[in-house]
Amino acid sequence: MRLIAALVMLCLVPVVGVAAAPLAQQFGQLPVFESVQISPDGARIAYLQQMDGKYVLVNRALSGEGEPHIYGLREGALRDFRWLGNDRLYVLMSIPFYSRGDRQLFTVERSGLLDVHANEMITPFRASKFVQYVVGSRLVSSLPRDPDHILMTAFSQHRGTMSTGTRLSKETSVKRSNLYKVALADGALELIETTTDLDTRWLTDADGEVLLRYQGDSGEEEGIWHHRLPDGSGFAPLADATAGEADTDTGFFSGKVLALDGGGKLMYYLASDEAGRSAVMRADISSGELRQRQTVARNAVFDVKRVRRNLHTDEVIGVAYTQDREVFRYLDRDFAQIQADLESTYPDTEVAITSYSENLDRIVVRLESPAIPPQYLLYDRTAGTIAELARAYPGLEAQQLGAVSRFEYSTSDGVDIHSYLTLPAGGGDGPAPLVVMPHGGPNARDRLGFDWMAQFFAASGYAVFQPNFRGSSGYGSQFQDAGLGEWGGRMQRDIDEGVLALIDEGQVDPQRICMVGASYGGYAALMGVITRPDLYRCAVTFGAVTDLGAMYTHLQGQHRSIDYWSRSIGSRFEAEQYEERSPSHLAGRDTPPVYLFHGGKDTVVPSWQSDKFAKILRQAGNREVRYQLFKDEDHWFTQATSRRQFLAEAAGFVAAALTD
């Protein structure tokens, strides 16, 4: 049913008008508004708003009464939040921290509870024993049946002793993973469980009783799940003897659990088909083993990996996954009808229900498509109205945006690749100049939505090609694992062969092609101009990996897991392979023009990766390399000033390279 509702304007969040501005100013702005959410009683609204190039958290009454409360950080960034009752917001933050002992800059996570009326942050985990870790405290359960508390996990560090094998012992540090009940009023902590197994995870019912516990120190190669015994006396391994869906060597379940439901009797989890594509499954675990298995959602092409839970009751109400755009399929009748009505009203658009009042009278909806930069609406079901709340890019008009479509091709070794092609805004005659824009990760993916960087280049007159090469996520583990060991190899050739397919179809000009990418995409851009200078005229990068061996050392210094890196590239002993696949070891005097950008506070790929590469090219006599360091920028383009400068200078650099 198409909603017959008036589209009205509410003076809740100002929809700012922006005068015509240079393209880099318009597309390089941070989204003015993000993550708009309504309180459970439907009386207040909270959102992230860009002010002076950074995000602040704003909460205000929907009625317009009173002044809005604005909370910001002097140092660090606000990353996410959600309502906990009507008086508190759970807030996730990231803060740069320089460790003198490690001589490394870290990005550390911190969380807190914001009092929406006093606009003051409550920090439950401020004691020194909690601040030793990069990963901060995390929300486990909002405890729907306990309005005064939530459950959170946090790592802690304590003094202890270790035997030396003699009569003597020495003092050491003991690390623990903890589950706490946290009081919303003042952040007071009550320890529920603690363990030295840092891989432990907990799932609870709506009252906060732990029903499932994942333990990584079970003596097996991977941990297994344990269920609470019916008499509450302890835990026992969760049995699962079904081949192909669990650890059949032990007969115990070790897979990915998504949620508990039905009073803890039903478990939602992931299972994979022959190609490794994930599906959402449901099983009854009340007997201590998986029984009455049912497939909840599966797709023949794409992974289905997420469940949607009711924000107020924690019940599973649907699933979500990415096809070309995000897809939401609800099991709950009310939500299914609301989603269907909204999709009928806004066809060919990604329609996401982001939050809602407990009685479902008021719903915040997020719209997005290649032609619609993210915008937020308030659907009042009682009044029958849809009100526009906010636009992420209020200065952009549809005519400034290029049309985007899926482009499919097969590689020379028979792999089918999905990609997206953005045409120049306003069209144009003849084959277009092309910007190839591989995504980061590399185990990420692009989708059919609004992309500020791609649309900037489209508005500047370029076609933009975004391939989901092998190694990308979302198409099953078999496709993703096909990228292991293929940095600079088959993943790179997947990109090249997509460009050649576009040339064969006459859509792009073979003499005017450059690559632009960030993180792994920056690595791919550099490898592109190094290995195929006949195809690519230039490369522009942000936060690019240039030396694989040095990245391995950096990850160890950051105390991060190197498992993926070892499987993807190789171990630290495989120096020859690192050099064969590292731009820093392959570039030289004749490398086509390269413009490197990097954030000085990037803790994912440190800025010396770009600094080193620029020096190598200059020492080789290459006069075509440029390097720009954004001193206060991180890995994620958090600052509008950096985005705008990057776009303006990248556009000039690409234009010059393609007109020589």
DSSP assignment letter at 647 = H
Q: Which domains occur in the chain, in start order?
A: 404-658 (3.40.50.1820)
The answer for residues whose C-beta is within 8 angstroms of residue 621's C-beta and 6 or more apart is 589
- Determine how many CB atoms are found less than 10 A away from the CB of residue 518: 25
In the chain, the largest separation of any two C-alpha atoms, in whole Å, equals 85
Please provide the distance, in angstroms rounded to a whole number, between the alpha carbons at the two ends of the chain: 56
- Determine how many CB atoms are found less than 10 A away from the CB of residue 589: 11
Strand, coil or helix: what is 658?
A: helix
CB 519 within 8 A of CB 440: yes
Angle made by CA atoms 134, 138, 139, in degrees to the nearest 5: 170
Strand, coil or helix: what is 570?
A: coil
- Determine how many CB atoms are found less than 10 A away from the CB of residue 563: 8
558 torsion bin: left (phi>0), alpha (psi -120 to 50), beta (else)? alpha
So what's the pLDDT on residue 173? 73
d(C-alpha 12, C-alpha 550), whole Å: 50
DSSP H helices, 422-537, are 452-459, 477-481, 490-504, 520-531
Bridge partners, 201 (sequence order): 214
CB 313 within 8 A of CB 144: yes
State pTM to two decimals.
0.91
Rg (CA), the chain: 26
So what's the pLDDT on residue 246? 43
So what's the pLDDT on residue 399? 77
Closest CA to 503 of 438, 457, 434: 434
CB 92 within 8 A of CB 81: yes
So what's the pLDDT on residue 293? 95
So what's the pLDDT on residue 96? 77
Phi, psi of 649 (to 5 degrees): -75, -35
Q: Which two tokens stand for residue 379?
A: 């659907």
What are 381-428's pLDDT values in tens digits?
999 999 999 999 998 887 789 999 999 999 999 999 999 999 999 887
d(C-alpha 69, C-alpha 622), whole Å: 53
DSSP assignment letter at 536 = -
**Secondary structure element (H or E) that encloses residue 578, with its range:** helix 575-580
Angle made by CA atoms 259, 265, 269, in degrees to the nearest 5: 35
So what's the pLDDT on residue 113? 98
- Determine how many CB atoms are found less than 10 A away from the CB of residue 2: 12
So what's the pLDDT on residue 85? 96
What are 281-329's pLDDT values in tens digits?
999 999 999 999 999 999 999 999 999 999 999 999 999 999 999 999 9
So what's the pLDDT on residue 121? 97
d(C-alpha 93, C-alpha 78), whole Å: 5
Angle made by CA atoms 438, 515, 554, in degrees to the nearest 5: 60
Flag residues of the chain having pLDDT under 50.
4-20, 218-219, 243-248
